[in-house]
Amino acid sequence: MRLIFIKALGLLASLAAAAPAVPATPDVPLGQPASEDARTEQLPRLVLYYQTTHDSFGRPISMLPLITEKNIALTHLIVCSFHINWNNTLTLNDYPPHYPLFNTLWNETVVMKQAGVKVMGMVGGAAAGSFHTSTLDGSIADFEYYYGQLRDAIVTYGLEGMDLDVEQPMSQTGITRLVRRLRADFGPDFIITLAPVAPALHKGGNLSGFDYMTLEDTVGKEIAFYNAQFYNGWGDLASTYTFDRIVNTGWNPQKILAGQVTTPANGGGFVAHNRLNATISELRSKYGQIGGIMGWEYFNSRPGDTSQPWLWAQVMTAILRPNLVPQLRITKSMADRLTKAWRDSVGVGESEISTIVAPPNVDYMSMINA
């Protein structure tokens, strides 16, 4: 995923320090295994990452068009990126997740869930630190301390799953321990996913250090699906070639999402919608069903770009999930709460709303339909 720089945390110096390795045996009870719904629901899935939270004017970027605009059947929205910071606290991108600028985000996720979209978090990404041997891949004491921060965020913000985007070396026992602990703490309906680069699933290039097939053999029943990255030089979706290699390695095609960048601005390997449609159609004719499509990321997706980023999800719905649009009902009290959260997120009060440089970019009152 795209690199987000962490401000004023001194990570580079911190991560250079040596730390104890994770214990050889991740002795964590599983509790109840993942439910069938957590593993297979809503096939084929349409998944979108939501990372950029504010526009260039500092206004919150609303995710609600993904459920208010017509002909969109999104299944999962992944809020990102949570970062574990050595010798510091958890952040969402550059700030703690409780900061007021995220008020709109957390209020809108409530509405998304009411419309049937699964709202997850993502930890890790291209900013190193979350899976270091001094944090989530560390000693029992280190793991408990930093995992506790992640666990508390899941509870506080009502996240329905967690995507583990491991883009730094992590041990096999460390990732297994993390998967098992999430399942033990959050039960069978919690959605656990990973986001490998596509070649990591066919014994090719791998940013994560551990072996994904070994992980699948060990705790695969706990993992709902894999948001495979077919971009930035890690394969592409201009043809079925890379996906076929993954399936031929032994993977169930229903667990693999065909991940793409939603615009060339987000990375290399963007595939135009007509070409992507042909690839997905060919994959479905071969395998009957695939895991779905994943997009990185929402705010500037083509063809609508920053003015209408939800159009990407409309196009993907037409390719993948036509006639499966969720139903949304917004009351006046919900619209009032969302409007207040928007003001809090840009740091203005009732009397100041007309004086900010850019006008509000979301009209929640127009969404009232109940």
Judge whether 51 lies within some domain: yes
Judge whether 82 lies within some domain: yes
pLDDT digits (tens, 9 = 90+) for 317-342: 999 988 777 667 788 998 888 888 88
Q: What is the pLDDT of residue 26?
A: 42
pLDDT band with cut points at 50, 70 and 90 for residue 4: very low
Residue 12, pLDDT > 50, answer no
Residue 331's domain comprises 42-367
Contacts of 163 (CB under 8 A, 6+ apart): 78, 80, 120, 121, 122, 123, 193, 194, 195, 227
Q: What is the pLDDT of residue 350?
A: 47
Distance CA 281, CA 295 (A): 17
pLDDT digits (tens, 9 = 90+) for 179-215: 999 999 999 999 999 999 999 999 999 999 999 999 9
Contacts of 323 (CB under 8 A, 6+ apart): 73
Judge whether 2 lies within some domain: no
Range name among 83-92, 126-135, 235-244, 357-366 with the lowest pLDDT average: 357-366
pLDDT digits (tens, 9 = 90+) for 209-232: 999 999 999 999 999 999 999 999
| Average pLDDT for the chain | 88
Looking at the chain, the whole-number percentage of residues with pLDDT higher than 70 is: 86
The answer to whether residues 133 and 19 touch, using CB atoms and an 8 Å cutoff, is yes
The answer to whether residues 263 and 234 touch, using CB atoms and an 8 Å cutoff, is no
Q: What is the pLDDT of residue 37?
A: 66
The answer to whether residues 87 and 118 touch, using CB atoms and an 8 Å cutoff, is no
Question: How many residues in the chain?
Answer: 370
Judge whether 277 lies within some domain: yes
Residue 150, pLDDT > 90, answer yes
Q: What is the pLDDT of residue 124?
A: 97
Number of structural domains (the chain) is: 1
pLDDT digits (tens, 9 = 90+) for 354-368: 455 577 788 888 888
Judge whether 231 lies within some domain: yes
DSSP code per residue over 26-78: ------SPPPHHHHHTTSSEEEEEE---B-TTS-B---THHHHSSS----EEE
Q: What is the pLDDT of residue 327?
A: 66
The CATH number of whichever domain residue 47 belongs to comes to: 3.20.20.80
pLDDT band with cut points at 50, 70 and 90 for residue 38: low
Judge whether 23 lies within some domain: no
How many helices and strands (H and E) does the chain possess? 11, 9
Q: What is the pLDDT of residue 82?
A: 98
Q: Which two tokens stand for residue 64?
A: 């609600």
Distance CA 214, CA 219 (A): 9
Range name among 28-37, 42-51, 119-128, 215-224 with the lowest pLDDT average: 28-37
Residue 18, pLDDT > 50, answer no
Range name among 7-21, 242-256, 260-274 with the lowest pLDDT average: 7-21
| Average pLDDT value for residue range 275-298 | 96
